[in-house]
Amino acid sequence: MTEKTPKSGAARRQFIFDSAKMVCGMGMLGLGLGLYAKQSKALPALALRPPGALPEDDFLGACIRCGMCVRDCPYNTLELAKPETPVATGTPFFNARNIPCEMCEDIPCIKACPTGALDHSLTDINKAKMGVAVLIDHETCLNFLGLRCDVCYRVCPVIDKAITLDLVPNARTGRHAMFLPTVHSEHCTGCGKCEKSCVLEEAAIRILPPKLAKGELGKHYRLGWDEKSKAGKSLIDESKMLDLPDRLPEGAVLPGHYDPASGHTEAMRGMPGSEAGAIPSLPPGLGGKP
């Protein structure tokens, strides 16, 4: 090695040149692939991962694209992304509006996974977080229109926990209640049965990734009423509390609103004591005004 012939010098130059060529080529290819990898982490909002799936960043490193979860899903819910699908090629996903997750108690998809891409420590399907249902369109939801559709509520596998029907007076008719489907994210698994069965042409309730669906309170926020019930008493001396006047903006009328200043409760149409008169939704034959 000490005595270098000119030939070995040329060979070395060639070697360095060839290596530099390769390093540059691989740099280009690697950069392209890397950016593509970065983009592929942007999972479309309506593509849901199987139960127990790691966060998308980790999922793409852990999933080896074998399709075992697809095979062991008894309801053919899952599919593997094809190259043209806007989901990382070969990875499993489902679209709730097509086929939702049926929330099998034994979670066969997780059992089939040969890697940690689907978290094997998830054994209670009710703790799955594939997404969060969001009643995304209040303008078309039939219950918001005052009807009793209730389908999303009825099909929910975690009925009365993940979705409840909250009663609100129907101000339009003045004599009905609206049963508003209300999602409670701590119980919602994101299975998508509500989205699947929404009777509208386009579902008014949809499963979204929790990151998209959920706000987050500041870490220092405390809800006074929660703290009060936790402590069993108020955390402050309520006798020293100053009550600021509750005022509606000038000229505003809120049916059913109690105004402490005058002691008057605004009349509510269709409610006892109401002078609001005829109920427009009632046809004349049933006693409504013609």
Minimal distance, residue 116 CB to other proteins, in Å = 6
Runs of H (alpha helix) within the chain: 6-40, 56-62, 68-72, 108-112, 151-155, 193-197, 210-213, 224-231
Contacts of 144 by beta carbon, 8 Å cutoff, 6+ apart: 138, 178, 180
Q: Tell me whether residue 25 or residue 260 sits nearer to other proteins (CB atom).
A: 25
Q: Which is nearer to other proteins, 73 or 149 (CB)?
A: 73
Size of the site for other proteins (CB under 8 A): 44
Tell the smallest beta-carbon distance from residue 16 to other proteins (Å): 14
User: Segment contacting other proteins (CB under 8 A): 29-37, 140-148, 187-195, 270-278?
Assistant: 29-37
C-alpha separations of 275 from 4, 97, 251, 283 in Å: 110, 46, 19, 19
Judged by CB under 8 A, the residue of 5, 7, 83, 244 near other proteins is 83
Phi, psi of 16 (to 5 degrees): -65, -40
Among 8, 14, 76, 89, binds other proteins (CB under 8 A): 89
Considering the complex, what minimum distance in angstroms separates the CB of residue 7 from other proteins? 20
Which residue lies nearer to other proteins by CB, 121 or 262?
Answer: 121
Q: Which stretch binds other proteins (CB under 8 A): 31-39, 164-172, 232-240, 268-276?
A: 31-39
Taking the C-alpha atoms of residue 22 and residue 3, their distance in angstroms, rounded to an integer, is 28
| 288 three-class SS | coil
Q: Which residue has the tokens 């009825």?
A: 154
Binding to other proteins, residues 219-278 (CB under 8 A):
none
Nearer to other proteins, 9 or 34 (CB): 34
Among 2, 3, 5, 84, binds other proteins (CB under 8 A): 84
Kindly tell me which residue out of 53, 73, 96, 117 binds other proteins, with binding defined by CB under 8 A. Answer: 117
d(CA 31, CA 39): 12
Q: Report yes or no: 257 and 266 within 8 Å, Cβ to Cβ.
A: yes
The answer to whether residue 72 forms part of the interface with other proteins (CB under 8 A) is yes
**Shortest Cβ 135–other proteins spacing (Å):** 33
User: Are 16 and 24 in contact, with CB atoms under 8 Å apart?
Assistant: no
The DSSP annotation for 94-158 comes to: B-TTTS-----TT-HHHHH-SSSSB-TT---GGG--S-EEEE--TTT-TTTTT----HHHHH-TT
Separation in Å, CA 130 to CA 1, 96, 100, 250: 62, 10, 11, 47
Return the residue of 1, 5, 7, 82 that touches other proteins, per CB under 8 A: 82
Is 22 a binding residue for other proteins by CB under 8 A? The answer is yes
Among 15, 17, 36, 75, binds other proteins (CB under 8 A): 36
> Binding other proteins by CB under 8 A: which of 4, 12, 13, 120?
120
Which amino acid appears at position 208 of this protein?
L
Cα distance between residue 278 and residue 269, in whole Å:
9
Residue 265: helix, strand or coil by DSSP? strand
Using CB under 8 A as the binding rule, the residues of this chain from 38 to 67 that contact other proteins are 38, 40-41, 57-58, 60-67
Residues that bind other proteins (CB under 8 A): 18, 22-23, 25-26, 29-30, 33-34, 36-38, 40-41, 57-58, 60-68, 70-72, 79-80, 82-85, 88-90, 112-117, 120
